[in-house]
A = this chain, B = another copy of it.
């Protein structure tokens, strides 16, 4: 199967939103009047971002999901994407389910495959995704550029901090798959779904335009990605451990109860702190593809309305503060600060066989 046959068979589809799709030197997009194009790119490398034997349908889903998650973080509506693919060989038994998983998610979000590149090489999947946001600035917010997109900058001291969905189960599944922790089979299956088939929060992101003051997607871990908001907004934050710990679904659903989860799994992980495993997963796990965002306390009803409208649970976990740094506090406001760093692709300390995109 040659390069052009491969593209024709697996990756050429109707593109009603685009002026021109796959098959020419360039694709052509035309923005609707008053709209901006949001653009993000993510590269997933075999053996680093996913196990070499990952089921190709799940992989196809995930490599687009991680890009859609960036659009969600900006509040953009998905439009289109390009796919560049390096493959060790043109293996139809791999390509067919890969394309199926990829395009099923694309169809679910109305995101059209408009172009790409295929070549031989170590497995590498690079997607660039395009979405649209209205250009006019939301009147309630003090944005550095004229846009209604959600940015990492824009949060104010006193803003509430929220996160969507649950956090840390993908990281827990990874630890289990690496043999570092043993999970009951039903919990492992659920956690593994989070690792392999993340659901980008595209509807929530759009519903938060004009409501959230800042937003980022949680791909490298909550501490790291909230850290981007702190840095860009020039602020610090306080997170409440009692609001954060229940976000680990596996812990919340552990049959003998969350305290037993901490005792059985956390203690095996770190005898000094039976909650260390849960905290590590929730705060610095990565691969969550949830949204972390800030909003003024006056927007609490609007945040709940956005959550309801997008059918996405959100949890208030802390407060933005003028003092720099990120503090984790217990119910009495006492610091409970473990040494937690977010995943960094070039930090040797975090080098591991799989990491988030």
Contacts and interface: CB of A to CB of B under 8 A. Distances in A.
Interface in A157-186: none
Given A20-B147, A31-B30, A74-B26, A124 B43 contact: yes
A42 interface: yes
Interface string A326-357: 00000000000000000011110001000001
Contacts of A147: 19-20, 28
A39 interface: yes
Contact of A84 (B26, B43, B76): B43
A267 interface: no
A28 B29 CA distance: 14
A27 B71 CA distance: 10
A241 B203 CA distance: 59
A62 B12 CA distance: 28
A244 to B, nearest CB: 22
A315 interface: no
B19 A145 contact: yes
B73 A120 contact: no
A286 interface: no
Given A20-B149, A28-B149, A41-B83, 19 more contacts: A2-B346, A2-B347, A19-B135, A19-B146, A24-B151, A25-B216, A26-B73, A27-B40, A28-B36, A28-B74, A30-B37, A30-B135, A39-B82, A40-B115, A41-B117, A43-B84, A43-B117, A90-B346, A124-B124
A115 B1 contact: no
A43 B82 CA distance: 11
Given A41-B84, A43-B126, A84-B43, A48 B345 contact: no
A155 B39 CA distance: 33
Nearest to A151: B24
Q: Which of A70, A118, A122 has the most CB of B within 10 A?
A: A122
A225 to B, nearest CB: 9
A131 interface: yes
A330 B63 CA distance: 51
A71 B115 CA distance: 13
Contacts of A146: 19
Interface residues of A, number: 74
A131 B135 CA distance: 20
B42 A84 contact: yes
A138 to B, nearest CB: 14
A241 to B, nearest CB: 26
A292 B39 CA distance: 30
A288 interface: no
B28 A38 contact: yes
Contact of A20 (B3, B42, B120, B145): B145
Contacts of A114: 39
Nearest to A45: B121
